[in-house]
Chain A
Amino acid sequence: MGVLGLIGLMVVTVGINAWPSFSANGLSWFGNSGNVVLQFRAMHAGMALPGHSLLYFSAWPLIWGTILVTVVAVALALVFSTLAAIFLTEFAPGPVRRVLEPVVRLLAGVPSVVYGLIGILAVARVVEENFISNARKQSVAYVVQLNGKDLMTAALILTVMIMPIMVALTSSALASVPASWREGSAALGVNRWRTIWRVSLRTARPAIAAATVLATARALGEAIMLAMVSGGRPFAANPLDGLTFLFEPVQPLAATIVQEFGGQTSGPVASTIYAIAMVLLVSAAFLSFAAWAVKQPLKRYGIGV
Chain B
Amino acid sequence: MATAELPSGANAPGAPPAIVRPRHDSTAAWPLIDRLGYWLCWVTGIGLCVIAAAIVLFMLVEGISALRLNLFVESPAASLHQSQSGGFLDPLIGTFIVTTIGILIAAPAGVAIAAWLSEYGRPSWLARAVESSIEMIAGVPSIVLAIFGLIIFSRSIFGFLSQQASDGSVTGESFLVAGIVMSLLALPLVVGATREALAQLPGRLREASYALGKTRATTIRSVLLPAIRPGIASGVVLGIGRIVGDTAIIVILLGATLKNEPVGNVPLLGTLRGTGSTLTSYVYNNSPAGEGNAPQKAYAAAFVLLMIVLALNALVTRLSRGLSLGTTDWTAKL
Contact = CB atoms under 8 A, between A and B. Distances in A.
A232 B143 contact: no
B248 A223 contact: yes
B313 A106 contact: yes
Interface string A165-202: 10111011000000000000010000111100100000
Contacts of B147: 14, 257, 273-274, 277
A45 interface: no
Contacts of B100: none
Nearest to A5: B133
A35 interface: no
A114 B283 contact: yes
Interface string B108-131: 000001001000000000100110
B312 A197 contact: no
B120 to A, nearest CB: 11
Contact of A121 (B126, B129, B142, B288): B288
B135 interface: yes
A277 B148 contact: yes
Contact of A1 (B58, B113, B244): B113
A164 interface: yes
Contacts of A114: 55, 59, 245, 283, 302, 305-306
B133 A120 contact: no
Interface stretch (A19-27, A94-102, A242-250): A94-102
B171 A264 contact: yes
Given A100-B45, A111-B245, A111-B280, A1 B126 contact: yes
Nearest to B26: A191
A285 B136 contact: yes
Contacts of A287: 139
A4 B330 CA distance: 29
A224 interface: yes
Interface in B129-156: 129-130, 132-137, 139-144, 147-148, 151-152
Nearest to B290: A228
B333 interface: yes
Interface string B3-47: 000000000000000000000010101100011011011101101
A6 interface: yes
B152 A254 contact: no
Contacts of A186: 25
Given A105-B334, A111-B309, A261-B252, A221 B140 contact: yes
A277 B58 CA distance: 34
B48 A107 contact: yes
A192 B241 CA distance: 39
Interface in A4-50: 4, 6-7, 9-10, 13-14, 17
Nearest to B248: A223
A258 interface: yes
Interface residues of A, number: 84
B182 interface: no
B254 to A, nearest CB: 12
Interface residues on B, range: 35 or more
B79 interface: no
Contact of B48 (A84, A109, A113, A274): A84
A122 B54 CA distance: 11
A44 B249 CA distance: 22
B298 interface: yes
Nearest to A224: B247
A194 B313 contact: no
Interface of B is mostly: helix
Given A17-B151, A113-B280, A277 B143 contact: yes
B334 A168 contact: yes
B139 A214 contact: yes
B139 A102 contact: no
Interface centre among B35, B133, B306, B333, by most chain A C-beta atoms within 10 angstroms, is B133
Contacts of B41: 83-84, 86-87, 90-91
A7 B45 contact: no
Contacts of A10: 140, 144, 148
B65 to A, nearest CB: 13
A68 interface: no
A209 B29 CA distance: 32
B331 A223 contact: no
Interface in B302-330: 302, 305-306, 309-310, 312-313, 316-317, 329-330
Interface centre among A4, A164, A287, by most chain B C-beta atoms within 10 angstroms, is A4
B245 A112 contact: yes
B45 A172 contact: no
A193 B37 contact: yes
A160 B51 contact: yes
A117 B283 contact: yes
Interface of B: 25, 27, 29-30, 34-35, 37-38, 40-42, 44-45, 47-49, 51-52, 55-56, 58-59, 113, 116, 126, 129-130, 132-137, 139-144, 147-148, 151-152, 171, 173, 184, 187, 241, 244-248, 251-252, 255, 280, 283-284, 287-289, 295, 298-299, 302, 305-306, 309-310, 312-313, 316-317, 329-331, 333-334
Q: What are the 3 A-B residue pairs with the smallest beta carbon separation, nearest first?
A: A221-B141, A111-B245, A87-B45
Given A6-B133, A84-B44, A102-B317, 7 more contacts: A13-B151, A109-B245, A111-B245, A114-B59, A172-B329, A191-B30, A224-B247
8 contacts: A13-B148, A103-B48, A111-B244, A114-B59, A121-B295, A168-B331, A258-B143, A258-B248
